[in-house]
Structure 1
C-alpha cells in the first residue's frame, strides 16, 4: 500500500482526516502524524511516505520550511498543503515547491478525495516510469553480462583467436593477463536429469538462476573469478592469479557447501591443474570437464582434482600384485590383512620417485572409492569424506602413506562392520518400528525399507539376533498389546482390534483365542 503522513497542529483536524474512509478506498495507509514541523521532519526521514497532508501554519518549522527540507531529499514526494489562510503568498510558495494540491481548511471530503486521487496517480506514474527505466537498465546489464560470458566461453574453448577474445573482453572492462596463472573448475549437479523431470520451463529457469547466482556469491570473496553458466546443470569457473592447488580446493569446498546448504543439491566439482599463460586455458578447461566426469566412477558429491585421475600401470609387478591383493582383502572385510599389506606396500612406495608415488596412489584411491560405492556404504560417514581432496593436499611420500593407511583402514573397517551381525541398536529400532505400526498392515518389506536393507537380509538377521521370525515376533507383540488395551474398559473390542491391526472383530476374537486360549471378552471378565 501507498503510505501517507498527516501534519497539523490541531488534534481534532488530524483525527478527522485520519478516520476518513478515503484511505481504505484508495489503498493508502496513514503511517504517521505530527503536530509540529520538527517532529514531522524526523518522522518523514524514518517512514518515507509518498503522500503528505501538510498544514502550512505549524510551530517549530512551518509547513513551507518542512516542504523545502523534503524537496531537498525527495523531488517525487506528493505534498498536499492545508491552510486556514487564503493568502496569495502561500499559494505562490506552494507552486514553487511543486505541491500536488492546495486545500483550504476546513477540508471538504470531495476536495480531499480529488487531491488524494491526483497524488495517487502521480505516484503510480512515477513508479511505472521508474520501473520502465529499471527494466531497461536490467536489460542492458543482462545483455552486457551475457556478452561478457559468451566471450569468456569463447576464450576457454578456443572458439576465437586468443587475441580477438582478449580484445573483446578488454572492451567490456575485463582485462586478463596473457602470461598469468589460471585454473578452471567445473561444477555439475548430480542426477540432474531425474531431478528436473517434473520441472516446468519456469521452474527450470528459476533453478538455473538460483544455482548460478549462489555460485557467484560463493566465490565473490576470491580475487579474479569469472562464472560461466554452460548448461542448466553446469557452472564453470575461470580463476585467475592462482598457483596453489589448495586455493582451488578451498573454492570448491566453499561452492559445494553453499549449494548444498541453500539448494539442497549434490554437486560434483572437477578441478584442473593450474596453468601459466592463457594460450593453455583450453587445456585447463578440458581437464576440469574430464575430472568432473569421473563422478560416474567415484560417485556424486565429490571434489575431483584432475591430478588424482591419472591412471597408470606401475612397472613394479610385485607392487601391482599387492595392490590387487589388498583390494580383494578389503572387499572381503579382512581388515587385519589390509593393515599388514599396507605396511609392506609403504616400503615399496618409499623407494619410488614422488611423481610415480602420486600416480600409483591416485590409481588405488580411485579403485577404493569405487569399491566403497559398490558395497553400498555411501550412507556411512567417513572421516575421509573427500579422499581425492585429502590426497591432493599431501606434499611428501610420508604424508601420502599416512593418509593412505588411515583411509584404507577406515574403509576396510566399514566394510567389515557391514558384514557383521546387526547391532543391538538396529534390532531395537526394528522392534520399536513394529510396536509403533501395530495398527497398520505390517510387512517385512516396509520394515526393510525403513532400515534401508533388503527384506531377505533383514529376515535372516532378525532371526539370528532374536531367535524369532519376523512373523512370530509381530504376532506376539500384537497380542501383548491387545491384552494391555483390554484393561481399559472404556475401549470396545472393535477399538482394541483396530489398534493392533485387525479390521475384522470376529477374526480378531478367533485369533486372540487361538493365541491366548480365551476370547477377548472372557479375558477382560476374568482379569478385570
Structure 2
C-alpha cells in the first residue's frame, strides 16, 4: 500500500476550495487510470491511497500528477510519498510516515513543485549545542543591526543564518521557535525596537503569528528579511526624531549656559545618553562635533561683546566661558584668525 499526500500553498477560503478540487480531480483521474485507490481530504491537502508498492508505477503516477498540476493548474504544491507492505491494515503507520515526509518540505524551494519520498529524506537534527550556537550568533548579529541600524545588512544576516540552518537540517518546529524567541527578546531589550513593532504591527498579524502560519524555510527567511528591514527603517526614523529633540535641548542649554563650565560629561548627563552615541549623533544632525559647536557659540558671543567698549578685553573671555585670558585669546585667534584685541581695533 502506498500513500500520496499533496500539499498546496495556502490560499484564501474561496480560492483554496477551488484549488483543492482542481488538485483532487487531476490526481484522482490520473491514479484511477493506473491503479486502484481511495482518497480523503486532509488539512491543507489531499491523501491518495494506492494499492501498490511498485516503485516504477508510483514514479509514473507522481510524475504525471506533477506535470499536469504544473501545466494546467499553475498551483504551487508538494507531493509526499510513502509505502508500507502491510496494505490496508497499516493505514495509520502509512499516514504517519507520509506526514513525516511532508515535514521535509520545510527545506525545499517553494518555487519548485517537488516530490518527497520518505525513504530518501535526510533525518532532522535535534536542537542541541550547535542549534544554540546558531541562535546566539543570529541574536548578536540582529543586536548589532539594531544598535547601528543598517537595513541593507538585514538580508545577509538572515541569509547566513539560514545557510547554517539548512546545513544542519534542524527540526522545523525548533527553528521557528528560535525566531520567535529572538524577536521577543529584541522587543524586551530595545525600547525603540518595541516601539517600531507597535507602529508597524497594523496588518492584523504579528511577526510571531505569521511565523506560525508559514511552513517552509524560504517563506520564513523572506518574512524575516522584510519585517526586520522595515523595523530597522522605523528605528532609524524614530531615532532621528529623538536625536533632533536631543540636539534642540543641548543647543538651548548652550545658549543659556555658554559662560559656564560645560563639559561633554555634563551634556550627556543632561540628555541621558552615553558619550560616544551623543558625539556621533550630534555631528550627524549638525555637521560639526559638539566641542566645535560650543566654541563657535562662545566666539560669536565674544565678537558681540568686543564691540562694547564698556567690557574689558580680558573680561570678554570670562563672560563666554574661558577663565584663562591667554587660552581665550589662543582659541579666538584659531577661529577668527586674529587676536581679540586686533578684532576690537577693527570693529570699533
Task: Identify the TM-score tier after normalising by the shorter chain.
Answer: 0.3 to 0.5
Q: Which has the larger radius of gyration?
A: 1
**Greater share of helix residues, 1 or 2?**
2
Higher relative contact order (CA 8 A, sep 6+): 2
Q: TM-score, normalised by structure 1?
A: 0.28
